[in-house]
């Protein structure tokens, strides 16, 4: 049983929380299934708006889905979450990703 199947099974059993949704989002993103990743990551940040890693991966999924404005919004929310939590490194990473996206034709 692969990671996605195991995690989907847990979700089907009613174990719905930010960590599980992040795990599913991450697994789907690694499997190049950005739409499914987006759906789970959106739920992760709904469960926990201060989950900076989920915001970061949500921004990356939205970038993969060619939704740059929404990706930038996710990064901004993630940077704010990182600042609230004192997660300096995550905030810096999202600032870099945001800056790179803004520099592309894609982000304009």
| 60-69 core/surface letters (b: 16 or more CB in 10 A; e: else) | bbbbbeebbe
- What does the alpha-carbon distance between residue 59 and residue 75 come to, in Å, rounded to a whole number? 6
pLDDT score for 77: 98
| 23-53 core/surface letters (b: 16 or more CB in 10 A; e: else) | bbbbbbbeeebbebbbebbbbbbeebbbbbb
Which domains, from first to last, does the chain contain?
3-107 (1.25.40.10)
Q: Give per-residue pLDDT as tens, 20-73.
A: 999 999 999 999 999 999 999 999 999 999 999 999 999 999 999 999 999 999
Q: Give per-residue pLDDT as tens, 72-108.
A: 999 999 999 999 999 999 999 999 999 999 998 664 4
């Amino acid at each position: 049983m692969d990671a996605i199947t195991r995690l989907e099974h847990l979700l089907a059993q009613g174990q719905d929380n930010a960590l599980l949704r992040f795990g599913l989002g991450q697994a789907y993103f690694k499997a190049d299934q950005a739409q499914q990743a987006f759906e789970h990551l959106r739920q992760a940040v709904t469960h926990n708006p201060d989950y900076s890693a989920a915001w970061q991966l949500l921004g990356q999924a939205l970038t993969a889905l060619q939704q740059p404005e929404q990706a930038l919004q996710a990064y901004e929310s993630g940077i704010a979450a990182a600042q609230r939590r004192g997660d300096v490194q995550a905030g810096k990473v999202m600032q870099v990703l945001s800056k790179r996206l803004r520099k592309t034709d894609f982000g304009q």
